[in-house]
Amino acid sequence: MTEAVDPVPRAFLGVERSVTGRRWTSRADQAAQNRALAMTQVHGIPELVARVLAGRGVGVDEAPGFLDPTLRSLMPDPSRLTDCEATAERLAEAVEKGERIAIFGDYDVDGAASSALMFRFLRHFGVTAEIYIPDRIFEGYGPNPTAIGQLIDRGAQLIVTVDCGSTSHESLAVAAERGVPVLVIDHHQLGHELPPCLALVNPNREDDLSGQGHLCAAGVVYLVLVATLRRLRQKAHQMAASMDLLSLLDLVALATVCDVVPLKGLNRAYVVKGLIAARHQQNAGLAALLKVAGIGGPVTPYHFGFLVGPRINAGGRIGDAALGSRLLTVDDAASAEEIANRLDELNRERQAMETVMLQEAEAEALAEYGNAEGAAIIVTARENWHPGIVGLLAARLKERFQRPAFAIAFDPNGKGTGSGRSISGFDLGRVVRAAVDEGLLVKGGGHAMAAGLTVEKAKLGALRAFFEEKAERQVSELVAGQTLKIDGALGASGATLNLVDTLETAGPYGSGHPQPVFALPAHRVRDARPVGTTHVKVTLEGQDGSRLDGIAFRVADTDLGTLLLASRGNLLHVAGSLSADLWQGSRRVQLRVTDAAPAG
């Protein structure tokens, strides 16, 4: 008689519903455990590292390459990208002729890094180049006809768009009418019809078979520059031999981490090698920003994503959108320090504005939806909100209420600019496009996890009702089925620096390759106190008396924060990720708490 197999895995530590509403499950099923054992036996990979890899779908044969990603083994021939050779040939021609080139980028980190990457390459060859970053509020995303006309008026003989341009039909038509060629290098989704341009390199275009659709824009730009340098060396350009593309990988790594693209394939090599380049601090602007952010140890993906990236983005959100690209192109230390300080100042202003706006948004959400358990999509809106921060608000609301969320900033004329963030499994872009079709939005679009929209104030109520109708059933099922995948159980005494360093060999971690999450079973909360305005710091004690410090970010007003603060002296199951915190020159282990549940 065959033993019946329960299709529902047993809850880890018996936690069926944590304080954040999630069921804890083991990340590694029996098949993954078997792969981990094979990795250890065949390749000699440490057992813990093998468990982490196997739990994330890495196969036995690919494990060694995954742990040591190299550009040589993972980088495709750039010619496999549609239009890459044509783009490289035209760029090489512009370099040889010394043409004046305009670089049109986006206002986020990927756009700033992509622009700086292209600029630094061209500057090496003595080419006069100008970077143009549009204003987020007044110009919006991508090329616009006025800006294109201005660049041509200032003498641009070739325009290169990076991280934008794939859908800019009207704007690129202006350049075509005036006889100025445009090269588009992008990674965003695009339709059947291509804009009028000389060449368009985008691994997500329908006729591109390169399989590199997971790259951010800077990753695509780098491939184009590899092809361009190859052309220039074939032409025996005197400056080609001294061009060191590897030194520019810090910009690619920064963009790859901050654009939250999957850390698989070539992206892993970009980040691993780019972090090495960043640690050499050859880019004066990046070095200045690392200093301002207080990063004293080796640069990590965490530093890029949570300390460097937000500061660069602050310029595009509430200040001068071009500050980020300008910082990443300067070589003068004094200028770099000045720009870095300005971005740091803008980031503090952004944080202060976000704090006030978030309090208003959460209050509105609670007033509109109660505890939000019956809501499908949270929609908040105010007249006094800064439109450059609504995306951050939406992300915070999604984290707080565990549901798709929108934040909309209305201008005095009743026109609202909004941004939304989704939960895994719900296609937010699809429901926004449906609202456009229904005539509820002026415009809108996006992808599964993020979307943007423009709405008239008079239609806000109808939009909320439409979202509820379209999303209620699916979101309810997704919320009810939310899980937290646990990599293993750990005691406070086992949380050592050696363990952290061993885990890092399976990194870098990020999108598509999440940080390992460990559960600390039945640990006593020896101390719990607020830190700053939104964080909670805890000290956990194991049954053997060993202790571990932890911190839960942005939880002060959430159920998790309330539970931690109310549990002094009590036992909790606590889940989180380990990191090495640098404090006064010494490293110590810290737990980043993400969830908890009463023990027993």
pLDDT digits (tens, 9 = 90+) for 47-61: 889 999 999 999 999
Distances in Å between the Cα of 173 and the Cα atoms of 103, 179, 478 are 17, 10, 44
| pLDDT for 375 | 86
Identify whether residues 389 and 457 lie together within a single domain: yes
pLDDT digits (tens, 9 = 90+) for 218-277: 999 999 999 999 999 999 999 999 999 999 999 999 999 999 889 999 999 999 999 999
DSSP assigned state of 513: B
352 belongs to a structural domain = no
The pTM of this model reads: 0.90
What is the residue range of 47's domain?
28-66
pLDDT over threshold 60, residue 370 = yes
Residue 467 and residue 377 in contact, taking contact as beta carbons nearer than 8 Å:
yes
Sign (positive or negative) of CA dihedral 220, 226, 230, 231? positive
Task: Please state the rounded mean pLDDT for residues 159-188.
Answer: 96
| pLDDT for 5 | 45
Identify whether residues 185 and 292 lie together within a single domain: yes
The runs of H, that is alpha helices, within 481-553 are 497-504
Joined together, the tokens standing for residue 454 give 């423009």
5 belongs to a structural domain = no
Joined together, the tokens standing for residue 73 give 């083994």
Rounded distance between C-alpha atoms, residue 451 and residue 418, angstroms: 9
Identify whether residues 38 and 87 lie together within a single domain: no
What's the mean per-residue pLDDT of the chain?
A: 93
DSSP 329-343: H---HHHHHHHHHHH
pLDDT over threshold 90, residue 298 = no
117-126, 167-176, 327-336, 553-562: range with lowest mean pLDDT: 553-562
Residue 453 and residue 441 in contact, taking contact as beta carbons nearer than 8 Å:
yes
Identify whether residues 158 and 306 lie together within a single domain: yes
For residue 378, how many other CB atoms are within 10 A of its CB? 27
Identify whether residues 121 and 239 lie together within a single domain: yes
pLDDT over threshold 60, residue 391 = yes
The CATH number covering residue 337 comes to 3.90.1640.30
| pLDDT for 369 | 85
359 belongs to a structural domain = no
**Through-space distance between the first and last CA atoms of the chain, rounded to whole angstroms:** 35
Answer with the one of 422, 453, 480 that is the final residue of a domain.
480
Rounded distance between C-alpha atoms, residue 408 and residue 382, angstroms: 7
pLDDT over threshold 70, residue 292 = yes
Residue 554 and residue 399 in contact, taking contact as beta carbons nearer than 8 Å:
yes
Q: What is the CA radius of gyration of the chain?
A: 25
* Position with higher pLDDT, 126 vs 443: 126
Identify whether residues 499 and 535 lie together within a single domain: yes
The CATH number covering residue 385 comes to 3.10.310.30
Rounded distance between C-alpha atoms, residue 55 and residue 52, angstroms: 5
What is the pairing mode between strands 443-446 and 450-456?
A: antiparallel
Residue 353 burial (C-beta neighbours within 10 Å; 0-12, 13-18, 19+)? middle
354 belongs to a structural domain = no
Helix (H) or strand (E) holding 552: strand 547-552
Identify whether residues 189 and 289 lie together within a single domain: yes
Give the side-chain half-sphere CA count within 13 A for 451: 29
pLDDT over threshold 50, residue 102 = yes
Task: Please state the rounded mean pLDDT for residues 567-590.
Answer: 89
Identify whether residues 199 and 270 lie together within a single domain: yes
Residue 298 and residue 279 in contact, taking contact as beta carbons nearer than 8 Å:
yes
Answer with the one of 345, 362, 389 that is the final residue of a domain.
345
Joined together, the tokens standing for residue 205 give 């275009």
415 belongs to a structural domain = yes
pLDDT over threshold 60, residue 1 = no
Query: Among residues 299, 171, 260, which one has the least CA distance to residue 512?
Result: 260
Rounded distance between C-alpha atoms, residue 483 and residue 521, angstroms: 17
175 belongs to a structural domain = yes
Planar angle of CA 132, 447, 477, nearest 5 degrees: 150
Planar angle of CA 348, 349, 350, nearest 5 degrees: 90
| pLDDT for 138 | 85
Residue 169 burial (C-beta neighbours within 10 Å; 0-12, 13-18, 19+)? middle
| pLDDT for 8 | 67
What proportion of the chain, given as a percentage, has pLDDT over 70?
Answer: 98
Identify whether residues 158 and 258 lie together within a single domain: yes
Task: Please state the rounded mean pLDDT for residues 302-320.
Answer: 92
Residue 466 and residue 455 in contact, taking contact as beta carbons nearer than 8 Å:
no
Rounded distance between C-alpha atoms, residue 528 and residue 551, angstroms: 9
If DSSP codes are grouped into helix, strand and coil, which group holds residue 571? strand
Query: Among residues 180, 186, 176, 170, which one has the least CA distance to residue 118?
Result: 186
What angle separates helix 169-177 from helix 145-153, to the nearest 10 degrees?
A: 30
Task: Please state the rounded mean pLDDT for residues 110-116.
Answer: 97
Identify whether residues 322 and 293 lie together within a single domain: yes
Residue 549 and residue 590 in contact, taking contact as beta carbons nearer than 8 Å:
yes
Identify whether residues 91 and 33 lie together within a single domain: no
| pLDDT for 2 | 44
Q: Which residue has the tokens 């600390």?
A: 520
351 belongs to a structural domain = no
pLDDT over threshold 90, residue 458 = yes
Sign (positive or negative) of CA dihedral 42, 43, 44, 47? negative
Rounded distance between C-alpha atoms, residue 473 and residue 60, angstroms: 39
The CATH number covering residue 520 comes to 2.40.50.460
Answer with the one of 426, 458, 480 that is the final residue of a domain.
480
| pLDDT for 7 | 60
Identify whether residues 285 and 375 lie together within a single domain: no
pLDDT digits (tens, 9 = 90+) for 326-343: 999 999 999 999 999 999
Q: What does residue 403 show for φ and ψ, rounded to 5 degrees?
A: -145, 160
| pLDDT for 372 | 64
β-bridge partners, 591: 550, 578
What total number of domains does the chain contain?
4
Rounded distance between C-alpha atoms, residue 188 and residue 186, angstroms: 6
What is the pairing mode between strands 586-598 and 547-552?
A: parallel
3 belongs to a structural domain = no
